[in-house]
Amino acid sequence: MQQPSPDRLFAEIEASTAILAGIISDYDPGLAIPTCPDWTLRTLATHVGRVHRWAAEIVSTRTAEGIPFKAAPDGIAPADPAAQADWLLAGSRRVIDAIRAADAEPVWAFGAIAPATFWARRQAHETMVHRVDAELAAGRDVVIDSGLAADAIDEWLEVMSGPRYGRPDARIAALPAGAALHVHATGLHGSAAPGSAVAGAATDGTGEWLISHAREAILVRQAHADADVTVAGPADRLLLVLVRRLPPSTTGVTVSGNAALLTAWLEGTPF
């Protein structure tokens, strides 16, 4: 089962960064970001610009040990708001160029070793979600490619919400022992870039994941199965629910079964 191609992921990094840069240029940098409590638009922009430079440094140095986030070169946004947009765009170019150059060479990836292209997927989804944060704060319409949303759901459920840096798996506390959560994304026809497939997507235009807690471990598999609670809806809306950018009551998303289990899962797996 394939993921979106690196070129498709690079295109998303570029596009989402450009949207964020435009918002930075048009709005007060002190604009509050409700989906990232205590953050302003400037804080959000600094985070995205720094995370691009941090990932680029990991990839370009081919490190197997990682680097401190705050040690990313040029990781502080310019004080002049007029320069912040260019700084953001330069960071996106830097991380894309670094990943293209490294290709499949092994690098650090949150305590593991993975091909450098791991960071194309990670940075595409990271930038996309934080672009949404800015759009929501600015009252703008949010548009997410459903194929990339499905891939982001897959990465979030299987990789990023799980244990990292050797820490315990927070998902174990988020889902009671013996319980199962079913995630069902719809509307995936024609959403992937030509020549690529969407992780978790079936021929009927759906993507489905079953998260279960058994034997003191969390198992995530792509499957249609009975569960204690099911959350379903268009992939773009569903992603934003799972990363807590929209509530489960958002239009188009349905929750069936024990809704309290979904609430506990969302509270225990913050993005």
For residue 109, tell me if it sits in a domain.
Answer: yes
Statement to judge: residues 133 and 164 lie in one domain = no
Q: What is the pLDDT of residue 165?
A: 72
Please count the other Cβ atoms lying within 10 Å of the Cβ belonging to residue 163.
14
Any domain includes 96: yes
In terms of Cβ atoms closer than 10 Å to its own Cβ (0-12, 13-18, 19+), residue 6 is: buried
Structural domain includes residue 182: yes
Residues 6+ apart with CB under 8 A from 51: 69, 72, 123, 126
Instruction: Show which of 90, 110, 138 is a domain's final residue.
Output: 138
CA distance 4 to 199: 8
- Residue 205, pLDDT score: 59
How many domains does one find in the chain? 2
Instruction: Tell me whether residue 200 is in a domain.
Output: yes
The domain boundary, picked from 138, 160, 182, lies at: 138
Do residue 64 and residue 184 come from a single domain? no
| CATH (domain of 249) | 3.30.1050.10
Same domain flag for 245 and 127: no
Residue where a domain terminates, one of 82, 111, 138: 138
Average pLDDT over residues 242-254: 96
With beta carbons less than 8 A apart as the criterion, state whether 189 and 204 touch: no
Does residue 262 carry a pLDDT above 90?
yes
Please state, in angstroms and rounded to a whole number, the distance separating the CA atoms of residues 122 and 109: 10
Domain span at residue 93?
6-138
Q: Mark whether 77 and 199 lie in a shared domain.
A: no
Q: Is the pTM of this model over 0.85?
A: yes
Query: Is it the case that residue 68 has pLDDT exceeding 50?
Result: yes
CATH number, domain at 103?
Answer: 1.20.120.450
